[in-house]
Structures are given as structure tokens and as C-alpha cells.
Amino acid sequence: MKYIITILLVLNIFTHTTYAAEARIAVASNFTNTIKALAKQFEDKSGDKIILVFGATGRFYAQIMNGAPFDAFFSADARRPTLLEKNGMALAGSRFTYAQGKIVLFSPKSDYVDSAGAILKKKNYHYLAIANPKLAPYGLAAQQVLQKMGLWDDLRYQMVRGENIGQAYQFVNSGNAELGFVALSQIKRLGFGSYWEVPTELYSPIIQQAVLVSHNTVAKDFIRFVQSDEAKAIIQDFGYQK
């Protein structure tokens, strides 16, 4: 009897592993915490698996154009999903806006960043972290902010650049840079540090769009879930604008 039960358990594990449906999704790193929460909700409801890969929007765009095996792409901008659709590398009609991002100037130190971002002009810090403007929309937004403040050229030797906004955040959080431009969604739930929420008139709107890259059924179901009222409430709670 014990032998039979063991065989049944093994068969059950094998069946689950072999036949579990899954989707592989490329995600801009600013959306890391949010999509993890969304994926958990979806997985709990559906029993399917969402495999998340995080990185820079520009890097993912190049990879998908070269045939990388993703089923969907959550970009930090609208331009790359639009180009993928135009180039026939994404499913026509699947593109939609899932969030509008906000940028902040952040330090893990309390009372370090003032409510108007005046610390940037004081320059009494060694390093300022930003994401690479050529690869990451949040990096481009940071560049626009600094240019409008007349500081882009003055601070060029103090900038440390991450490939994506996730790396920019790590530079600041680790103490390798005293402050940096990161996504509001990355720091909203931290419970420590100080930040300046940059006025939206200082940078172009960060419209974030997603697109299907394959006909994977799980990816399609997940996209539908992200567009639901339940998912929209989660996205907003993480600091994204409606």
C-alpha cells in the first residue's frame, strides 16, 4: 500500500510539472514589484505560471526584434511596443497602456532630499544615480528634468548610470550614490528615506504600454487580467498614475 501511494505521488508531481501552462514575460524593471503582485494574484486564480524577466526597455526591444522567446512585453514606454507592432513582431491590436509612471529623486537617508529638489543645485554629494537615457525611459525622464533645471552639463561627472531603473535604484540603496532618480513605485512602500516627487511638467509623460509577442494562451489571459479593475487598483496602489 505504501509503495502504491508513493507511485501516485510521483505521478502527480510529474503530471503537474509536465502539463502546467506558463508564459514568459519581459518586464521593464520599474514595474518589478507591481507585476510580481499581479502575477501572484493571477497564478492563485488560474493555476498557471508567469515567468518574469526584468531589464531595460531598450534592451528587451532589441532582443525581441532578434527573436527572443518572450510571450509578452511590458515596456516602460509606448514607442517600443508601437515599433514592435509596426514591424510585425507583436500581435496586431494587442497593445495597450497599463500604467503612467512617475519619477522621484530619492535617498535612503531621512531628511536628505528636500521637498523641492534643491539639493541637486547644492552639489554637496559625490554621485547621482540615473538610468541610461538611451535604454530606459525613466533615465530619459531624469535627463529631461536635469536639462530643464539647467544642471545636465554641470552634473555629468557626478552621474552614475545603470542600464535600467532597477540598477539605478540599487546604486542609491547600496550607498554607492547618495541620491538618484528612480520610479515612485520602487520606493513608495519602503517606509524609510526621503524623496522629491518631481513635478510632471519637468518631463514627458511616461506612458507604459504592453504588447503580446506570441499567441501563448496564458499570456493572453494574463493581459486580460492586467486590464481588469482588480489589477488596475493594484497598479495605482504601487504609485502609478491612472
What one-character-per-residue DSSP string does 149-188 give?
A: TT-TTTTTTTEEEESSHHHHHHHHHTTSSSEEEEEHHHHT
pLDDT at residue number 188: 87
Q: pLDDT tens digits for the chain (242 residues)?
A: 444 444 444 444 444 444 369 999 999 999 999 999 999 999 999 999 999 999 999 999 999 999 999 999 999 999 999 999 999 999 999 999 999 999 999 999 999 999 899 999 987 899 999 999 998 999 999 999 999 999 999 999 999 999 999 999 999 999 999 999 999 999 988 889 999 999 999 999 999 999 999 999 999 999 999 999 999 999 999 999 86
From the options 3.40.630.20, 3.40.190.10, 3.90.120.10, 3.20.20.70, give the CATH code of 2-100+206-237.
Answer: 3.40.190.10
Tracing cell 524593471 back to the chain, one arrives at 29
Predicted local confidence at residue 154, as pLDDT: 93
pTM score, whole prediction: 0.84
DSSP bridge pairs for 212: 72
Q: Which fold has domain 102-202?
A: D-Maltodextrin-Binding Protein; domain 2 (3.40.190)
Two domains, one topology: 2-100+206-237 and 102-202: yes
The grid coordinates of residue 224 equal 486580460
Residue 103, pLDDT score: 96
Per domain, the residue ranges of the chain are 2-100+206-237, 102-202
pLDDT, position 241: 81
Q: What is the pLDDT of residue 17?
A: 43
| CA angle centred on 175, ends 29 and 144, rounded to 5° | 50
* Calpha distance 51→181 (Å, rounded): 28
DSSP 8-state code for residue 133: T
